[in-house]
Amino acid sequence: MFKTLRDAWNVPDLRKKILFTLFIIVLYRLGSVIPVPFASPDILQAAVGYAGNSLLTYFTFIAGESFSQATLFALSISPYITASIVVQLLCVAIPKWQEWQKEDGEEGRRKLDKITRYITVGLSLITAFGYYQYLKANNAIIDVKLFSNATLNQWAIAIVMIACYCAGACLIMWLGERIDNFGIGNGISIILFINILSGIPRMVQTFYVRNIHPESYGVSGDPMPIWLFIIVAVLVVIFFLAAITFIVHMTEAERRIKVSYAKRIQGRKMYGGQDSDLPIKLYMSGVMPIIFAQSIVSIPATVALIAPGTAPEGYSAGTYTISSFGEWWYVFTNKTFSYTSPLYMIIFVALIIAFAYFYIAISFDPTEIANNLKKNGGFVLGLRPGAPTANFIKRVTNRITLLGAIFLSIVAIIPLVVNATMGNSLGIVAFGGTSILILVGVALETVRELEAQLTTYRRPGSSGAIFRGKRK
């Protein structure tokens, strides 16, 4: 990894792309601390917390503290990710969009990107309104008298705040596209990477304060002894290191299909007659299935921002009776479908597996690969070129995808199970598996992207020498 970064830095064109990407990251971090008019971050932080028994922890995890501080980029990349999911699902249902995706190449991709932008704007408006309602419900809006009419004053504050949050989400989308077009690529993934990194110090601080000074969070009970806290902290560090090692190892795992090429003569030269491998990664979809699944299971919490419902009488004591839909909705979003509930985990795993297969179905075509092998005189030993080879590759891909999806599910679920078993004192690991998976996945994808760009700068016939000048 470090050798790749060093080689990329030595190439002027790639150095400019790296510096441009760093510049966009700085702009993004500046936007993450820009306050929005009329929002009171102190009250909101007390309401959200990091280890609360709700999916608000997920929003804070995705937005990198911007959500809990009610800043300009509070909505983060959630609207864009949801819009991408919608577009990819509709590509299967709408033949014209499917044609753009598979046959029109770069032009079709630009058309789909344009549609994704429009959907992102619409979802940003809806989510911004929900976030405004959440701020209002938690008294996190500063009442400033702009007009003498109270109703007009309230409408003015709402319009300003919703417009700011919607503009912030659209600006994040634009910054990600700038990284894709003029930087090193993987724009949205890099922004998510930065969000998670920026939230780590606060997670560590919350982990310490919640266990040593629980009264600060309104938690009843005695503080954890220092010696026990040190043991738990060491175990958490060991867990994260083991998870990183495991994830890196599984990320590089692949199934290699032996491919032979028939000899053929063109002019006076002979081609083919050699064996090679067709590598199939354990999970070619990367971190996208887990991000997509997390976005879907967070929909109830998003709706709850707009309509939180009403806590039934006796809810805190556990002796309550549901008598209305509002009370049922409150119990569902805060208990039945909280991120530590069995229902949440089951649906989460099912969605990860479903999105893993869906992503492979739209990005990996066994028939096309089999046809390309046939055109180049390649074949899998023991199989006829064409349809039999395509069926074999599809069968192998389905098995590999299932293993990859199970791996993603294990990484995502184990921290949730630990948190549900041990209680909120280990809230730091609630989304730890997902965080590590995204961090490692984005880092490896970015390095592979740089390596791919470096190949165009290598001297022909050399094993590693790189042109230091511009490409010709």
Q: Give me the percent of the chain exceeding a pLDDT of 90.
A: 11
pLDDT at 466: 53
pLDDT at 104: 66
pLDDT at 271: 59
- Asked if the model's pLDDT at residue 27 lies above 70, the reply is yes
Q: Is residue 320 part of a domain?
A: no
Q: Is residue 60 part of a domain?
A: yes
Select the more confidently predicted residue: 79 or 460.
79
pLDDT (tens digit per residue) in 241-300: 887 888 888 878 888 888 887 766 666 666 556 777 888 888 777 777 877 787 788 778
Q: Structural domain of residue 129, as residue ranges? A: 1-220
pTM higher than 0.85 for the full model? no
Select the more confidently predicted residue: 221 or 152.
152
Q: Is residue 241 part of a domain?
A: no
Mean pLDDT of 8-15: 85
How many domains, the chain? Answer: 1
pLDDT at 47: 59
Select the more confidently predicted residue: 340 or 18.
18
Looking up residue 48, the CATH number of its domain turns out to be: 1.10.3370.10
Q: Is residue 331 part of a domain?
A: no
pLDDT grade, residue 53 (50/70/90)? very low
pLDDT (tens digit per residue) in 103-140: 767 788 888 889 999 999 999 998 899 888 888 877 88
pLDDT grade, residue 101 (50/70/90)? confident
Q: Is residue 327 part of a domain?
A: no
pLDDT grade, residue 215 (50/70/90)? low
- Asked if the model's pLDDT at residue 348 lies above 70, the reply is yes
Mean pLDDT across the chain, nearest whole number? 80
pLDDT (tens digit per residue) in 86-100: 888 788 788 888 888
Q: Is residue 446 part of a domain?
A: no
Mean pLDDT of 157-183: 92
pLDDT grade, residue 52 (50/70/90)? very low
pLDDT at 252: 80
Q: Is residue 252 part of a domain?
A: no
8-22, 154-168, 304-318, 441-455: range with lowest mean pLDDT: 304-318
pLDDT at 51: 40
Under a CB-based contact definition with an 8 Å cutoff, are residues 39 and 141 in contact?
yes
Mean pLDDT of 148-158: 86
Q: Is residue 236 part of a domain?
A: no
90-94, 408-412, 414-418: range with lowest mean pLDDT: 414-418
